[in-house]
């Protein structure tokens, strides 16, 4: 049986675990995002997921912001959509993190500005398990609706 392959960036430090009989995972150096799908017919999704814990999103949108904007540009140059999947709900992001000089509202504003300005969609999930289910279900929906 031919299966879909989730390409997991080789630099991903806390890989998600995907449980689905139609999907396997393969480490692959991606130019942007942490996860991308190669469908069983050989075609690639034009959507990549960037996985972030709440602490990661604070770092990415502050000290790592310029580098992240370059990643967004690489995805745009490739005509790909980038989705940020945040392992925590919006309220937790809004509340901020300990020992950060940046308030949560600033991070939330930046996330929504990235969505409106660049089409980088933020998705907030309960935990890592929910993140993996979301990614799988998104890609399977894309496969079902492929023309």
Q: Write the secondary structure of 13-35 as one string of H (helix), E (strand) and C (coil).
A: CCCCCCCCCCEEEEEECCCCCCE
Predicted confidence band at 99 (pLDDT cuts at 50, 70, 90)?
confident
* Per-residue pLDDT reduced to its tens digit, 50-76: 999 999 999 999 999 999 999 999 999
Beta strands in the chain (DSSP E): 4-9, 23-28, 35-38, 44-53, 81-87, 121-125
> How far is the C-alpha of 37 from the C-alpha of 18, rounded, in Å?
12
For residue 21, the Cα-to-chain-centroid distance in whole angstroms is 22
Q: Give the pTM.
A: 0.93
CATH code given to domain 4-144: 3.40.50.10130
Structural domain boundaries in the chain:
4-144
C-beta of residue 86 within 8 angstroms of C-beta of residue 125: yes
* Per-residue pLDDT reduced to its tens digit, 126-136: 999 999 999 99
């Amino acid at each position: 049986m031919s299966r879909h392959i989730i390409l997991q960036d080789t630099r991903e430090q806390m890989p998600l675990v995907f449980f689905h009989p139609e999907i396997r995972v393969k480490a692959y150096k991606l130019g942007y995002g942490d996860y991308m799908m190669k469908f069983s017919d050989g075609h690639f999704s034009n959507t990549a997921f960037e996985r972030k814990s709440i602490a990661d999103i604070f770092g990415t949108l502050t000290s790592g912001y310029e580098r992240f904007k370059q990643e967004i540009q690489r995805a745009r140059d490739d005509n790909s959509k980038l989705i940020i999947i945040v392992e925590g709900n919006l309220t937790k992001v809004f509340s901020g993190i300990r020992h950060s000089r940046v308030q949560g509202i600033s991070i939330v504003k930046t996330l929504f500005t990235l969505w409106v300005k660049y089409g980088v969609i933020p998705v907030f999930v309960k935990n890592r398990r929910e993140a993996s289910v979301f990614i799988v279900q998104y890609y399977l929906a894309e496969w079902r609706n492929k023309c």
